[in-house]
Amino acid sequence: MTGAAEAAGEQGLAGVDRREAAVVVRDLVKRYPGRARAAVDGVSFSVARGEVFGLVGTNGAGKSTTVGVLTTLVAATSGTVVVGGRDVRTDPAGARGRLAVVTQHHNLDRSLSVRQNLVVHARYHRVPRRRAHDRADALLERFGLGDRAGSRPDRLSGGQQQRAKIARALMHEPAVLFVDEPSTALDPRARLVVSEVLGEVNARGTTVVLTTHDLAEAERWCHRVGIVDRGRLLAVDTPAALGASAADAVAVELVVAPGPVDGPGAVVAGLGSTAGVRRVEVAPAAGTDGAAEGTWLRLRLLTGADPTVPLAEALEALRGWACEVREVRVSRPSLEDVFLELTGGAGR
């Protein structure tokens, strides 16, 4: 591990007292036979007790393999991992008793009721029978599933299934809860409910480690995030600090109507070639003053620390293409901006 990845590893281990750490990962490597590149290549970080920590990265970045090692599902090639005070290599059973996993897949037992899913999980972890039944009832009520306790999982909505999986994971009172892509395939309302549930779980003292490729989600939910790419940890810090670390960058948002130029693609390509503009992102924006939905674009330009010249040139280019500019706003770079800068962008 060298350069930025080494610095990120030291940063990830800094600032958390090892005695107060819920998770400690040092020099973690995972290699699969026949693959030239390691799936995880010298990753180091720690997670404080009571923290919500996110591993963010695209599919194949290495975050799921990392969590696989942390949860004893994948054997490391080398390195040290301690979860809840237990070494996952020398004491995997002890580590499993201190952690729980919520996968993105709906893996509730369809042959059992929701309540039975929770009780069976608790009994597997040797929770006494009466305690298991009482805790199942309490968790189902706490997560708004009391009236669905006797239902089969297939009768639940996606958001309800996710809440049921979280409730099941908490049955043996784990020290660390791992959640893989917590809002995948959920509608906005279900995402909000799951967000509230995870917030409540964390507020009661459970450490949460989540993996996600949704950077806005990580920015909202996590106290700190680790950016993973190609098996390496590139940066670890709070979302705000990561945004502030891009001191030489500014984000400029424009809402424009494309005009007679050859569609949004031509606008994006043209602005992308403007001096001082590092990257252009585009998303639909609702029109105003009678403009049809979808006829406006919200453009986000990442520029250098001083956006004056590139913004002036961008506005001049837009006027030359007869594009109407509705809104201009300058802001700090987001976590997504930092992620794309560190990883080389979506088109790498």
Residue 254 lies in a domain: yes
Residue 3 has pLDDT above 70, yes or no: no
Residue 344 lies in a domain: no
Residue type, 299: L
What's the pLDDT at 82? 97
> CA-CA-CA-CA torsion for 61, 64, 66, 72, nearest 10 degrees?
-160
Order of strands across the sheet that contains 249-257 = 277-285, 296-304, 249-257, 324-331
Same domain, 203 and 292: no
Domain span including residue 318: 247-331
What's the pLDDT at 220? 87
Residue 340 lies in a domain: no
Same domain, 216 and 277: no
Give the residue from 243, 275, 295 where a domain finishes.
243
Q: Taking residues 2-8, what's their average pLDDT? A: 52
Residue 262 has pLDDT above 90, yes or no: no
User: Any idea what DSSP says for residue 37?
Assistant: S
| Contact (CB, 8 A) for 267 and 256 | yes
Q: Rounded CA gap, 43 and 55, in Å?
A: 11
Block residue for tokens 């800094």 = 14
293 band by pLDDT with thresholds 50, 70 and 90: very low
Give the residue from 200, 220, 243 where a domain finishes.
243
Residue 214 lies in a domain: yes
Same domain, 255 and 236: no
Same domain, 310 and 195: no
Number of helices (H) and strands (E), helices first, in the chain?
12, 14
**In total, how many domains does the chain have?**
2
Q: Rounded CA gap, 4 and 1, in Å?
A: 9
Question: What CATH code is carried by the domain that includes residue 314?
Answer: 3.30.70.260
Same domain, 175 and 265: no
Same domain, 67 and 207: yes
Share of the chain above pLDDT 90, in %: 52
Same domain, 176 and 70: yes
> CA-CA-CA-CA torsion for 238, 243, 248, 252, nearest 10 degrees?
180
What pLDDT, in 10s, does the model give residues 44-82? 999 999 999 999 988 889 999 999 999 999 999 999 999
Same domain, 75 and 105: yes
Please name which of 193, 229, 228, 225 lies closest in space to residue 208, comparing C-alpha atoms: 225
What pLDDT, in 10s, does the model give residues 153-191? 999 998 999 999 999 999 999 999 999 988 877 788 888
Residue with the larger pLDDT of the pair 245 and 255: 255
Same domain, 317 and 259: yes
Q: Which range, 174-178, 323-327, 341-345, has the best average confidence (pLDDT)?
A: 174-178
Handedness of CA 313, 315, 317, 319 (dihedral sign): negative
| Contact (CB, 8 A) for 226 and 233 | yes
3-state secondary structure of 3: helix
Same domain, 260 and 232: no
What's the pLDDT at 250? 82
Residue 72 lies in a domain: yes
Give the residue from 225, 243, 261 where a domain finishes.
243
Q: Rounded CA gap, 305 and 318, in Å?
A: 22
Q: Taking residues 274-298, what's their average pLDDT? A: 67
Q: Rounded CA gap, 174 and 157, in Å?
A: 26
Same domain, 223 and 312: no
Residue 345 lies in a domain: no
Q: Rounded CA gap, 204 and 299, in Å?
A: 40
Please name which of 320, 311, 327, 314 lies closest in space to residue 261, comparing C-alpha atoms: 320
Please name which of 255, 192, 216 lies closest in space to residue 339, comparing C-alpha atoms: 216
Residue 268 has pLDDT above 90, yes or no: no
Q: Taking residues 73-100, what's their average pLDDT? A: 96
267 band by pLDDT with thresholds 50, 70 and 90: confident
What's this model's pTM, rounded to 2 decimal places?
A: 0.77
Residue 341 lies in a domain: no
Question: What CATH code is carried by the domain that includes residue 24?
Answer: 3.40.50.300
Tell me the pLDDT of the chain averaged across its residues.
86
Residue 80 lies in a domain: yes
Residue 290 has pLDDT above 50, yes or no: no
150 band by pLDDT with thresholds 50, 70 and 90: very high
Residue 213 has pLDDT above 70, yes or no: yes
What's the pLDDT at 284? 56
292 band by pLDDT with thresholds 50, 70 and 90: very low
What's the pLDDT at 229? 93
pLDDT-wise least confident of 95-99, 247-251, 315-319, 339-343: 247-251
What's the pLDDT at 1? 39
Same domain, 216 and 259: no
What pLDDT, in 10s, does the model give residues 228-245? 999 999 999 998 888 777
